[in-house]
Amino acid sequence: MTTIKAYGATASTEELKPLDIQRRAVGAADVKIDITYCGVCHSDIHTVRNDWKGSTYPVIPGHEIIGRVTEVGANVSHYKVGDLVGVGCLVDSCQTCNSCEQDLEQFCEKGATFTYNSSDKHSDGKQTYGGYSTAVVVDEKFVLRIPENLDEAATAPLLCAGVTTWSPLAHWKVKKGDKVVVIGLGGLGHMGVKFANALGAHVVMITTSPEKGKDAKRLGAHEVLVSKDQGEMKKHQGSFDFILNTIPVGHEMDPYLGLLKIDATMVLVGAVEPLKPFNGGSIIMGRKRIAGSLIGGIKETQEMLDFCGEHNITSDIELIDMQDINTAYERVTSNDVKYRFVIDMKSLK
Ligand code: NAP
Ligand code: ZN
């Protein structure tokens, strides 16, 4: 065990503050990583504030981790000291169930171990602690290789925002010429726009923030719609093959379902809580589908990172010191980030 510096919350009503935490000794299959950058996901805030219930304190958030390998266990074969690596939302799973065998560790039938606030079999069931910290010890199966050509800090958000938007686009086979909507230009949404554009789709951004329109186009949107503009929304009825919905709270569904073509799908990744009641007719008419998606498996995360390396895709970030985290949380919840905060972990060392 080693004691390291971290930042976390001791209660849902408390601000984040410096805390000391322990990391396990490096086991035979483990990689120890000196964390250089960690992204700030809206899920970190939901967990700190116990929005989804089930948070165990202290919560040390952070699942968009980038760093360099400083130590490897005796059986580690894929990584060596000095390698640039990442850790996303998953740090363990059973490896034997149907889901794990299909590279869907996020749906592990025995329960995946998430990077923070998850029961940790390596420490007597105490919860896992995330990347708002100086170092982490992770089984090599859950470590990702980061393409060295990418900007290190701007790569961090790919580990969650990246794969969460990549995975549904890949699963529903979005392709050249498809008409795709991305709803919500935040951390996830801006990656969704970049990926859908890179896959050759015609991308329409739907936002509540008209002032983000110019940025949306720079990021790869071909058109921008303001959701409150009912006239514009009506013009696009029945015209989309796929909708990626990143709205972080419960919301009205009917206006968006109306945009889908026959047999088309809207995938929710943001709103975990109850949605506003919607009309069955909105999906019955047109045999439409509403689906959900949770991050992505390890294999898929590596595929996404390799795609980003080839296409030079990273996140648009605002780099902050660890000490600025509480202000950053306020700014994310008041919809004021372009488009992901990333913590420079030098500030904690
Ligand atoms: P974010 O950076 O805060 O972005 C969310 C965006 O949604 C905002 O920028 C805003 O964009 C729009 N929005 C916010 N409130 C809204 C409202 N009341 N109605 C309509 N639009 C609204 O958050 P994020 O990090 O991208 O995360 C988005 C959600 O996905 C969070 O709930 C997060 O916990 C969840 N998440 C899920 C997964 C998964 O695996 N499924 C993974 C990571 C995160 P505009 O200004 O453009 O409207
Ligand atoms: Zn996340």
- Look at ligand 1, atom 9, and give the residue with the nearest C-alpha: 186
The answer to whether the Cα torsion of 137, 33, 303, 317 is positive or negative is positive
> What is the tens place of the pLDDT at every residue in 5-46?
999 999 999 999 999 999 999 999 999 999 999 999 999 999
Confidence (pLDDT) at 194: 98
Q: SS3 for 273-285, per residue?
A: CCCCCCCCHHHHC
340: nearest Cα among 36, 35, 39: 39
Structure tokens at 318: 């605002």
Confidence (pLDDT) at 123: 82
As a whole number, the mean pLDDT across the chain is 97
> Could you tell me the CA-to-CA distances from 107 to 88, 112, 163 in Å, in that order?
15, 7, 15
Instruction: Evaluate if residue 271 carries a pLDDT over 90.
Output: yes
Confidence (pLDDT) at 124: 79
pLDDT bin (cut points 50, 70, 90) of residue 125 is confident
- CB atoms < 10 A from the CB of 301, how many? 29
Instruction: Evaluate if residue 94 carries a pLDDT over 90.
Output: yes
Confidence (pLDDT) at 283: 97
Q: For 94-110, what is the mean pLDDT?
A: 98
Q: Between β-strands 223-226 and 240-245, what pairing exists: parallel, antiparallel or unpaired?
A: unpaired
* Matching fold, domains 2-160+315-347 and 162-292: no
> What is the tens place of the pLDDT at every residue in 130-175?
999 999 999 999 999 999 999 999 999 999 999 999 999 999 999 9
Pocket of ligand 1 (CB under 6 A): 41-43, 46, 160-161, 164, 184-189, 207-209, 212, 246-249, 251, 269-270, 293-295, 332, 335, 337
Measure 246 CA to ligand 1 centroid, in angstroms: 5
Measure 51 CA to ligand 2 centroid, in angstroms: 14
Confidence (pLDDT) at 302: 98
Measure 314 CA to ligand 2 centroid, in angstroms: 15
Per-domain residue ranges of the chain:
2-160+315-347, 162-292
Ligand 1 nearest atom to the CA of residue 106, by list position: 40
Ligand 1 nearest atom to the CA of residue 293, by list position: 41
Homologous superfamily, domain 162-292: NAD(P)-binding Rossmann-like Domain (3.40.50.720)
- Look at ligand 1, atom 12, and give the residue with the nearest C-alpha: 184
CATH topology of domain 2-160+315-347: Quinone Oxidoreductase; Chain A, domain 1 (3.90.180)
Confidence (pLDDT) at 117: 98
